[in-house]
Structure 1
Amino acid sequence: MNPKILFIDDEPHILKAFARLFRKDSFDIITTSSPTEVCELVQNDEFALIVSDQRMPKLEGTKLLEQVRELSPDTIRIILTGYADKEAAIEAINQGSVYRFLTKPWDDHELRNEIKRAIDEHRLRQENKRLQELTLSQNEELRDLNQNLETKVRERTEKVTLLNQQLKQGFIGSIRAMAQLGEMHSSDLGEHAKRVTVTTGQIGKQLGLSMDDLFQINSAALLHDLGKIELPENLLAKPYNKLIPVEQRQVQNHVILGEKIAQMVPSLEKAAVLIRHHHEHFNGSGYPDGLKGEEIPLGSRVIFVADYYDHLANNKSGAQPKSPEAILDSMKEHSGTWFDPQVLSALHKYLLPEEHESALLDYLNKQSVNDTPEVKQTNKKETVQSIHSQNSEVESVTEAEMDVTVEQDLRLRPYELELGMTLSRDLFSNNGGLLLPRGTVLGQRQLENLRSLSLANPISDRIFVNPQPVEEKKNTTSKETPQKTPLQV
């Protein structure tokens, strides 16, 4: 479409001259001598350029082009003026009413060039306007797309998160269902597996294991004896060292069967390997493959230590239960032969944190014999505090994240106990005597006696209870003012 040019002059012969001058150009030329008609034409059509004479009888050119600007801001406006009207034309340019002015009489070549430059300017302005409108439109579309995308991403994320949660719950449900098989076969096996899982998770925390490793190790711990479901109850009840060789081989086969069962669940491949090797000994004397040292997966070494400790702590032989200190002392005899020393140390640190700190201070004292006088005892304490600070970062992992297979028991001091809490482990006095068995639901009288005992002869603060009380909380004795009554538990 050719650009349209409107010429206005009160002299007809000048208008004819304009028409002749541009007859060979690709312009649509329209001429008029009426200012009123100019406004009507501009309202009804789109003009690229208007060229107006300055001196006209009814209206000056600058005034007319001001009206045109209001009606059609994009139209380029040029004034034709004589020398005497230059100042008026310059003022009109400064005010933005006109693009530029040309003088009469004009040079045809110069006029043609100015008209073409004005048309190019109009095209440039129109293209710029088009691009701006396109940019605004695209920005608006992009804004809408971004909003829609954010909504879709949020919706998709929620769906994926929900699906992952459902898959995780289904996965954990499968693990617990398999664990339930062992518990149905033997309640002792089920309870033992839960306790070992708790201890395994705590050892793993002391070792600074990752969340994925903790999950796999805890899963393996919960299922580590699942292969025993094929064993008869009379065989399960006999101590391993009293079994004849044929029976021992039959018991040893439970790690192979447990591995096969775990392999049936997707994503439990690592746990299956841990189950297979949880009876390997650090010196290579274990079964089924005789692995030794770091050939044994770390998770298997952890489960073996927790498994062995739980058997000693919860033996069914009728012998007097041993304290954690006594059990650890007996296990230390096999450190480096059966047990990984690092794992055994982690169990010791979990069960006896105060003793572990004391041993660490003794070690630092020995190391500082040859130190310079400037090395003070406070430095050793700061070192211990630094080590505990590092460990606290590991312990900041929530229980739910650390162990997704079973609920964790709570570790409380005597004054933190509350009515209705259930002991999850046997409670021993400092001299190794059994105060309360595992499963005891704490009543008002027992709480008062325990708190009274802790004042007279502080008992260990290693009191473990289930995470949820069996009964609703009732009126409890103030933690700050325990009753001083004789111990009767």
Structure 2
Amino acid sequence: MTDTPTATLLLVDDEPHVLAALQRELRHEGYRLLTANDGEAALAHLATEPVDAVISDALMPGMDGIEMLARIQHEHPDCLRLLLTGKADLNAAVRAINEGHVYRYIAKPWDATELRQTLQLALAHQQAQREQQRLEALTQDQNRELSELNATLERRVAERTAELQQTADMLDAAYGELEQSYVTATRVFSSLITQRLPKDLQTNATVSELLKAFADQHELDEETQRDLQMAAALYNLGKLTWNDHLLTAPSERLYAADRDAYRRYPESGESLLMALEHLEGTAKIIRHHRERWNGSGYPDHLREHAIPYGARLLALAVDFVELQRGMILPRKVPRHSVLALLEKFAGRVYDPALVAPFVELCVEHAPDLGLGGKKVLSLETARLEPGMQLAQDLLSPSGTLLLNRGKALSRSLIDKLMRLEELEDVRLELLVHPPEATEDEP
């Protein structure tokens, strides 16, 4: 027998000797035993203290056992109900079981072992039900707590997401401001270079127009376009360290120390940009834009595709502009002749895969002339036609202005130009817009 009762039993019978017999049978089973001699007394016990099981006689004066157990079922549904009944009351006991009033019935006279086993099974079943209910309640509590936790977590995630988005927006704004500061710095540097050069040697804007047009036509990615535009503005940044006489001297006429100083300007430009991490791609283009396809360039003698793509493209644009301005050879080279030179040196100085599309761009759209994408042709006088319009000022070999840009050509004007060629023994090449098509023409 254990010190702590395993269950509280209420024994109900109107006959004292039956109650005494039940107590004798169960006193050693570890139960706490309560007794009542009628239904009213039993219900009074249940109203004041917890009872695990009730064993009641079926036939009692006043409120019989079946009626009492029915009330217990209604008022204390967790309490086990067992009915003591003789053979004469067997039908009533079966009805009580079927109607759910009792868990089991015990026949009189009872067998002591069967009585104990029936009680043990009933209480074990009750304990299992209680444990199931406890676990279900615990599960419900845990589910409720989990739902509350999920709701709290979702709210916290939403709040954190909003904070992160706000931070990202602030970073985007800061990055935009930083990028704009780089652009502003680029413009400042470019203006410093421009101020040191004569007007006809200020090439950055023209180089930029060429690269922008090429990038747009070939749909280069945004990062490459940005690096090219920065490089166009800053490619001659290293020339700021030169003496004035170097700024205006054609590069092919430089010798000894002057030539060495000239060859260092791509490296100097890169060095001046090293502290600006955002311009790392730009600095790399500037360093290598004097490399040559065959490896004979400088400063690192790179060849072919080892030369960065942007540097190969910048080299074409710079040479195209500077040859026309007299910055490379001792004389200014006509535009059409420069294009021919680019094609001639494709595969030696320039990337052959870039030369063809670059020349086509310059011939068809002439972005360096600021023509807004209008078609332009480079023609000898014999191929000129009335209605064509000059796309560029026409200068004589001595530099005298012959015709202004925008001048419409007539037959008599074309004939005069041809006679001038015969008298001066020169060949003129004109940049012209073709006549505008009429409604009847394709």
Q: TM-score, normalised by structure 1?
A: 0.60
Matches within 5 A, 1:394-473: 425-426=370-371, 430-432=376-378, 434-435=390-391, 457-458=436-437
Paired amino acid for 2:376: N
Q: Which residue of 2 aligns with 1:299?
A: 310
Residues 106-157 of structure 1, C-alpha deviations (whole Å, 9 max, x = no match): 6212221221231122112212211221122122112211221222133123
Matches within 5 A, 1:75-474: 75=78, 77-80=80-83, 82=85, 83-93=90-100, 100-105=103-108, 107=114, 108-174=116-182, 176-187=184-195, 192-193=203-204, 195-197=206-208, 199-200=210-211, 203=214, 211-311=222-322, 322=335, 328-348=339-359, 425-426=370-371, 430-432=376-378, 434-435=390-391, 457-458=436-437
Number of aligned positions between the proteins = 368
Asked if the contact 2:203–2:321 (Cα under 8 Å) also holds between the matched residues in 1, the reply is yes
Structure 2 residue matching 1:151: 3-state secondary structure: helix
Paired amino acid for 1:129: A
Structure 2 residue matching 1:186: 3-state secondary structure: helix
Structure 2 residue matching 1:183: 3-state secondary structure: helix
Give the Cα–Cα distance (whole angstroms) in 1 for the partners of residues 318 and 210 of structure 2. Answer: 9
Q: Does 1:68 align with 2:75?
A: yes
RMSD after superposition: 4.6
Give the Cα–Cα distance (whole angstroms) in 1 for the partners of residues 223 and 315 of structure 2. Answer: 19
Paired amino acid for 1:457: E
Asked if the contact 2:376–2:391 (Cα under 8 Å) also holds between the matched residues in 1, the reply is no
Select the structure of larger CA radius of gyration. Answer: 2
Q: Unaligned regions of 5+ residues in structure 1, if any?
A: 355-410, 412-422, 438-448, 460-480, 482-489
Give the Cα–Cα distance (whole angstroms) in 2 for the partners of residues 314 and 101 of structure 1. Answer: 116
Deviation of the 1:259 alpha carbon: 1.2
Paired amino acid for 2:140: Q
Asked if the contact 1:12–1:33 (Cα under 8 Å) also holds between the matched residues in 2, the reply is yes
Asked if the contact 1:321–1:434 (Cα under 8 Å) also holds between the matched residues in 2, the reply is no
Paired amino acid for 2:238: G
Give the Cα–Cα distance (whole angstroms) in 1 for the partners of residues 30 and 139 of structure 2. Answer: 25
Structure 2 residue matching 1:7: 3-state secondary structure: strand
Asked if the contact 2:363–2:377 (Cα under 8 Å) also holds between the matched residues in 1, the reply is no
Residues 350-385 of structure 1, C-alpha deviations (whole Å, 9 max, x = no match): 66789xxxxxxxxxxxxxxxxxxxxxxxxxxxxxxx
Give the Cα–Cα distance (whole angstroms) in 1 for the partners of residues 148 and 347 of structure 2. Answer: 70
Q: Unaligned regions of 5+ residues in structure 2, if any?
A: 379-388, 394-407, 409-431
Deviation larger for 58-67 or 291-300: 58-67
Give the Cα–Cα distance (whole angstroms) in 1 for the partners of residues 38 and 361 of structure 2. Answer: 103
Give the Cα–Cα distance (whole angstroms) in 2 for the partners of residues 200 and 37 of structure 1. Answer: 107
Q: Which residue of 2 aligns with 1:390?
A: none
Structure 2 residue matching 1:284: 3-state secondary structure: coil
Asked if the contact 2:343–2:356 (Cα under 8 Å) also holds between the matched residues in 1, the reply is no
Give the Cα–Cα distance (whole angstroms) in 2 for the partners of residues 200 and 351 of structure 1. Answer: 11
Deviation of the 1:68 alpha carbon: 3.0
Q: TM-score, normalised by structure 2?
A: 0.65
Q: 1:284 to 1:122 in 2, by over 3 A?
A: same
Give the Cα–Cα distance (whole angstroms) in 1 for the partners of residues 205 and 33 of structure 2. Answer: 97
Residues 457-482 of structure 1, C-alpha deviations (whole Å, 9 max, x = no match): 149xxxxxxxxxxxxxxxxxxxxx9x
Structure 2 residue matching 1:291: 3-state secondary structure: coil
Deviation of the 1:312 alpha carbon: 5.6
Q: 1:219 to 1:68 in 2, by over 3 A?
A: farther
Matches within 5 A, 1:27-38: none
Q: 1:220 to 1:149 in 2, by over 3 A?
A: same
Paired amino acid for 1:115: L
